[in-house]
Amino acid sequence: MRGFLATLRAAGAEAFANRRSFWIQVSSMVVNDLGWVAFWVIFYNRVGSVRGWDADRTLLLLAVFATSAGLVLGLFANVRWIGQMAADGGLDAVLSLPVAPLSHLLVRRISSVNVGDIMFGLVLFAVTGTPTPTRTAIYLVGVVASSTLLVGFLLATQSLAFFAGRGETGEMGFNAILLLANYPADMFTGMQKLVVFTAVPAAFVSAVPARLVDEFDPLRAVEMLGAAAGFAALGWAVFTIGLRRYSSGSVWTQA
Amino acid sequence: MGANGLGIDVTGLSKTFVSGRRAKRRVVEAVRDISLQVEAGERLAYIGPNGAGKSTSIKILTGILHASAGDVRVLGLVPWKERRQLARRIGTLFGQRSQLWFELTPHQSFRMLAAIHRIDKADAAARVAELAELLDAGDLFDEPVRTLSLGQRMRCELAACMLHRPDILFLDEPTIGLDLLAKQLFRDLLVRVNEERGTTIFLTSHDVADVEQVAQRVVVVNHGSVIYDDSVAAMRRTLLATKIIDVGLLNGADALALEGVTVLKHTANGAKLVVDTTAQSVRHVLDVVLEVWPVSDISVVDPPLEDVIAEIYGAPRA
Amino acid sequence: MSWFATAVRTGARQMYASWPALVVSAFFYLVVVTAVTTLWRAGAAANDGHVAGYTATMLTWYLATSEASILGLSFRMIEEVGDDIASGSVATELLRPVSVLGIRIATEIGRAVARLSVLVPAGAALCLVTVGPPPHPAGLLLAVPAVLLALTTNMLLQHAVAGMSFWIRDARSGWFLYQKLVFILGGMLVPLEVLPAALRHVAEVLPFAAVAYVPARLASGHVEPELLAVQLGWSVVTGVVASLVFAAGERRLQVVGG
């Protein structure tokens, strides 16, 4: 545990080492997120509401998504790069240390640009989300569940690089879930809707927790937590099995 | 230490990589049937040309890769099975990979490593001070790593992998990219570490000078197998039965023809003779040269290690 | 000018050589377009079948085209060019006997052509399958040169912005802001007609509209050839600005060092 915290602390120090760069990165992300707010405001201004989603609820979605993605890509930044590290031998360093590889890897790097997302999401919720104690509690639990699911999903897709390819599936998975989580899942129908609730669970990353804050439903909440736990387990499993394969050397002959 | 007191005990180690599928399937035997015993406190150089299996071997010994066949014990532990336990007792320095955090000072990295190795703060501080002295690096530990030259960084990397007082240090091409002076300094430090702390040094390298100046024992691998394993001195002595005589001349001298002697170079100022010691005694050649030539200076040297090793590499596959 | 053609070919070949990256970007494109068109079609359905005069079919063709125009280029170009300037790569390019900017643009055109060769068929297929052809296919014909002009204007504009890196180290971070401006004021995510009036007037006088809105508008079935003239104008303006910035920057490099 002490090692884990020390690594996290060092990662933070490293990200913050160049103050100016840190704040520029953070501001860039805030600008980016404000752009999305502008988009939704313009959209709903014209369109009114779509399948039960209006501007307020969509901003709630943004608040959940920004904080959750910020936590995952900002604090556990390496989760995005595991595919590449598997392909180029970058995991050797972590295997030379007396640590559990996954937890060390995850906290080894902090990405300043995504830290901006965390702050933005929290502020957005505070400003537009009507933060009553109940809603805030649901929001925070929703964010935690969403992050857990996102980590699990990214781990699983990135870890496919242990088995085949140089990380393209990881890249595609990463792009897919982050793109689709920007949108209220209820707008999708048929096959697409099935996908965002299962294979690429973008719905659970943003839309479901946002809706829970507005209209709490115990069944949906259980589904949410189940999905989070499920993907976390999946990610852990694929990574662990993949690491064994890395250790047998079969991944590497590309290096 | 292993039950039999060995630091490293390898028997019949083999490693095969399989890549591709069906038609494009390739099987590469990176390491084949290697056996090796290393005792505590040795300084060993593990050398070979590119693709010889050096990196694969060292990765197996440090637990990053697991073996396809054979028995490997490092400090009594099976590396890939007891990786974390082993990691507490060995240090690794891979030339291309850094343990230190780029934007932070070495001190900050040490603090993190101390926490990972469960060294308490007071103890860690004392060890860092010791290392600063041992490695002559005290003034470097508080500068951000990105501001250090490669040579300075390598000294700090060495400190980082020694913080937890490992019994064995595994170094994979540690002097790559260093300038001559920095290489020299680093080699001296490795010897110092071994002599003052008794740390076993296991070093892979391309650079013959690493062998000459650091190693007491050299293991040569090629095509995945060990083709030579002996002390460096013995290697020089037994493998190339030649001696080189460098002669400085006062003024010109006539040509010299002696059995078993090849004249490599002959100018008005000096000559270089290669003596085949199986056909001619060095003593006799010296006698003749001193008698017949106006000698200002004379010395007898071993052939360069490069030549020795090149000849070993060139030996037909066993 | 043969060096220009060679650079274009090299850029294209380079993209085709790393075809897994092309596959990933085609995938990205299809996911984005699916999501965004589904959203707008749902919006149109909730609004009597149209938004600001665009039907669901028009919206689909609009968005597929605007996205293709943007994704035809590396979306972090400002950062990449900024890094090249900061790292000194551009300084070494000065050693070549041809215009630094010229070669870069030519190479980018090559890369863009390679990307488009994948994105355009993908986008067209997606549109035909989901909504069928656009109302006035003549618009599609006009959209072809429009896309090319859009890409050219886009690259020149990004190089002009990235050129700030000759003076300001952090200009590279501007890519975020640029993207957002293109998203909204360029009409990539939102047809300009949907914007509130004030914002729309601003968008009409900025070059961003030439970068995404124009080809999208044409492809969505509005036959308005005068838009091509607007694009041409902007491409000339951005070309001049980029050349001036790079010329000044190169002079600075020669004085100050890499």
Task: Report the gap between the CA of A4 and the closest CA in chain C (Å).
Answer: 31
Beta-carbon separation of A39 and C47 below 8 A: no
* Separation of alpha carbons A92 and C204, rounded Å: 54
Which tens digits make up the pLDDT trace of C166-181? Answer: 888 778 878 888 988 9
Beta-carbon separation of C51 and A46 below 8 A: yes
Point out the residue among A17, A98, A249 whose CB comes nearest to the CB of B104.
A17
Segment B21-40 mean pLDDT = 84
Compute how many other C-beta atoms are within 10 angstroms of the C-beta atom of residue C86: 16
Query: What's residue A252's pLDDT?
Result: 53
Chains in contact with A via at least 3 Cβ–Cβ pairs below 8 Å: B, C
- Asked if A166 reaches chain C (Cβ–Cβ under 8 Å), the answer is yes
Domain residue ranges in chain C: 2-256
Domain presence at residue A142: yes
Paired tokens of C81: 């060019």
Which tens digits make up the pLDDT trace of C135-145? Answer: 888 999 999 99
Task: Report the gap between the CA of A151 and the closest CA in chain C (Å).
Answer: 20
Which tens digits make up the pLDDT trace of C69-92? Answer: 999 998 788 888 888 888 878 888
Which tens digits make up the pLDDT trace of B247-294? Answer: 998 887 788 888 888 888 888 888 888 888 888 888 888 998 888 888
Chains in contact with C via at least 3 Cβ–Cβ pairs below 8 Å: A
Q: Which residues of A touch C51 (CB under 8 A)?
A: 46-47
Asked if residues C22 and C122 have their Cβ atoms less than 8 Å apart, the reply is no
Point out the residue among A2, A17, A96 whose CB comes nearest to the CB of B115.
A2
- Asked if A194 reaches chain C (Cβ–Cβ under 8 Å), the answer is no
Q: What is the mean pLDDT of chain C?
A: 90
CB burial of A123-158 (b: ≥16 within 10 Å; e: otherwise) equals bbbeebbebeeebeebbbbbbbbbbbbbbbbbbbbb
Beta-carbon separation of B115 and A13 below 8 A: no
Which tens digits make up the pLDDT trace of A105-141? Answer: 999 999 988 988 999 999 999 999 899 999 999 999 9
Q: Which residues of C touch A43 (CB under 8 A)?
A: 39, 43, 190, 194
Asked if residues B54 and B220 have their Cβ atoms less than 8 Å apart, the reply is no
**CA dihedral (C101, C102, C105, C107) positive or negative:** negative
Query: What's residue B26's pLDDT?
Result: 77
Q: Which residues of A touch B62 (CB under 8 A)?
A: 95-96
Backbone angles phi, psi at A93, to 5 degrees: -60, -45
Which domain covers residue A81, as residue numbers?
2-243
Confidence grade of residue A255 (pLDDT, cut at 50, 70, 90):
very low
Beta-carbon separation of C43 and A168 below 8 A: no
* Separation of alpha carbons C147 and C71, rounded Å: 11
Which tens digits make up the pLDDT trace of A43-65? Answer: 999 898 899 999 999 999 999 99
Backbone angles phi, psi at B278, to 5 degrees: -80, -20
Point out the residue among B85, B104, B116 whose CB comes nearest to the CB of A14.
B104
Domain presence at residue A255: no
Chains in contact with B via at least 3 Cβ–Cβ pairs below 8 Å: A
Q: How many domains does chain A have?
A: 1
Beta-carbon separation of A7 and B116 below 8 A: yes
* Separation of alpha carbons A207 and A204, rounded Å: 6
Query: What's residue A235's pLDDT?
Result: 96
For residue A102, pLDDT over 90 is answered with: yes
Which tens digits make up the pLDDT trace of A145-171? Answer: 999 999 999 999 999 988 876 667 788
Q: What is the mean pLDDT of chain B?
A: 87
Beta-carbon separation of B94 and A96 below 8 A: yes
Domain presence at residue A252: no
For residue B242, pLDDT over 90 is answered with: no
- Asked if A1 reaches chain B (Cβ–Cβ under 8 Å), the answer is no
Triad C45, C46, C52: Cα angle to 5°: 80
Q: Which residues of B touch A18 (CB under 8 A)?
A: 103
* A:225-254 residues touching chain B, CB 8 A cutoff: 247-250, 252-253
For residue A204, pLDDT over 60 is answered with: yes
Task: Report the gap between the CA of A1 and the closest CA in chain C (Å).
Answer: 36
- Identify which has the larger pLDDT, A18 or A41: A41
Selected residue of C28, C36, C37, C39 to mutate for chain A interface (largest A Cβ count, 10 A): C39
Q: Which residues of A touch B92 (CB under 8 A)?
A: 96
Domains of chain B are 40-67+77-238 (3.40.50.300), 242-301 (3.30.70)
* Separation of alpha carbons A119 and A131, rounded Å: 16
Beta-carbon separation of A5 and B115 below 8 A: yes
Helix (H, G, I), strand (E, B) or coil at B296: strand
Paired tokens of A225: 């937590």
Query: What's residue A253's pLDDT?
Result: 47
